[in-house]
Amino acid sequence: MMQHLLTLRDLTPSQVNEILIHATELKARLRAGDRAPLLPGRVLTQVFEKPSLRTRVSFESAIGQLGGYGIFLTGKEAGLEGRESNADVARVLGGYSDVIALRTFSQELIELFAAESGCHVINALSDASHPCQALTDILTMREAFGDVTGRTLTYVGDGNNVAVSLATICAQLDITFVIASPDGYQLDESLLEDLRREYPGARLSQSADPHAAVKEADVIYTDVWASMGQESEKSAREKIFADYQCNAALMSSAPKQAKFLHCLPARRGLEVTDEVIDGPQSLAFPQAENRMHLAKGVLAWLLDAS
C-alpha cells in the first residue's frame, strides 16, 4: 500500500520515530558537508491553497538538496477552484510526481488526493492538523533535551490545527501535553478521549489558566490566535486571548530552564512578546530551520531512499 503522511494518527509511534531518525541523520550529514543526492530525479509537487513561507521553502530546499525537483502551484493554478474536478487534478499531478504536498482548508481534499493520485501525499497543513510541524517540534525538543520521554509540553493559546498535531504526537511519544485556552477555544474533549484510548498511558489535559498550565513545563509553545481563514475573527480573538500572551510574566511562572517554541509566523505583541521570542529561552528560529531537516526526513522515509 502506498505510504502517505495525511495525519499523525495514520503513523505508528515507531514510524514517527523512523521519520525523526531520518531527519536527524540527514541534518548531521548536511552539517558534515555530505549532500548525497539520495532522491535523484524525484519530483515533489506542492499545491497550496493558503500562504506559506516555511513549509513551501523548506520542502523545496529539501527535495533540491536530495537531488530531486520541486514544483509549486497555488490551488488556483492547479485548477482546484473549479477548472476541472479535484479528482482529475489529483490523477494528472500523480502522473508527473513522486510526492504531492498539499496545503488546504479541508482535510478531505488531502484524503481525495491520497486516494486518486497514485503517488505519496503529504499534509502540508489543513484546518484539521499540521503533522510536519509537530514532527519538527519533537526534533527540536530532542536536540534540546535528548530523550523527550516524560517531558512536558505546555501549549498556550488556540486549540487549532497545530495544537491537534502536538497533542497527538505527545500522546504517541509519551510526552505530557497540557493546553491552556479560553473557553470555546479548547481542543475537543472527544479528541483527547480518542487519543487516550488509542495510546494508553497518554497524559493530556486542558485548563483555562495559563500560569498554572506552565508550572511544570519543559516547553512552552504558542501559535497565532487567528489561523489562516479566520482573519475576520482577528480583532474579537485579540480580546478573548489577551490573558494568554506568552510574555515575561508567563515565563516567570514556568521553570527557569523551560524552552519556548513557536511554529511561526508570529504576531509579535499579540500571542508572544519580543522579549520572549527573541529571548534566551526561545528556540523558535532553530525550530524553523528544522522544518527543512524534517522535510528531508519525511521525503527520504516516504520514498524509502536510505
227 binds, among ligand NVA, ligand CP, none (CB under 5 to 8 A by kind): ligand NVA
SS3 per-residue string spanning 192-237: HHHHHHHCCCCCEEEECCHHHHCCCCCEEEECCCCCCCCHHHHHHH
Number of residues that bind ligand NVA (CB under 6 A): 9
Part of the chain binding ligand CP (CB under 6 A), chosen from 37-45, 46-54, 89-97, 187-195 = 46-54
Which partner, ligand NVA, ligand CP, none, binds residue 53 by CB below 5 to 8 Å per kind? Answer: ligand CP
| 55: CB partners within 8 A, 6+ apart | 48, 101, 103, 124, 125, 132, 291
Would you say 13 or 265 has its CB closer to ligand CP? 265
Among 2, 28, 53, 248, binds ligand CP (CB under 6 A): 53
Residue 137 site contact among ligand CP, ligand NVA, none (CB < 5 to 8 Å, cut-off depends on kind) = none
Whether 98 is catalytic: no
Query: Is residue 136 a contact point for ligand NVA (CB under 6 A)?
Result: no
Where do runs of H (alpha helix) occur along the chain?
Answer: 13-31, 54-65, 75-78, 86-96, 107-116, 131-145, 161-173, 189-198, 210-213, 234-240, 248-251, 274-277, 284-302
Parallel, antiparallel, or unpaired: how do β-strands 219-222 and 152-156 relate?
A: parallel
The answer to whether the CB of 122 falls within 8 A of the CB of 302 is yes
User: Is residue 276 part of the contact set for ligand NVA (CB under 6 A)?
Assistant: no
Omega before residue 265 within 30° of 0, cis = yes
CA 251 to chain centre: 23
Residue 130 annotated as catalytic: yes
The answer to whether 155 and 180 are in contact (CB under 8 A) is yes
Contacted by 303, from ligand NVA, ligand CP, none: CB < 5 to 8 Å by type? none
Residues 6 or more apart in contact with residue 146 via CB below 8 angstroms: none
Question: Nearest distance from residue 265's CB to ligand NVA, in Å?
Answer: 7
CB of 48 to ligand NVA, least distance (A): 12
Among the listed residues 46, 65, 133, 287, the single catalytic one is 133
- Return the number of the residue (60 or 116) whose C-beta is nearest ligand CP: 60
Please give the Cα distance from 170 to 183 (Å, whole number). Answer: 22
Please tell me which residue in 103, 120, 151, 237 is annotated as part of the active site: 103
Of 174-182, 190-198, 239-247, 258-266, the window that binds ligand CP (rule: CB under 6 A) is 258-266
Q: Does 267 bind ligand CP (CB under 6 A)?
A: no
**Residues interacting with ligand NVA, by CB under 6 A?**
125, 160-162, 223-224, 227-228, 263
Give the residue numbers marked as catalytic: 103, 130, 133, 223, 263, 291
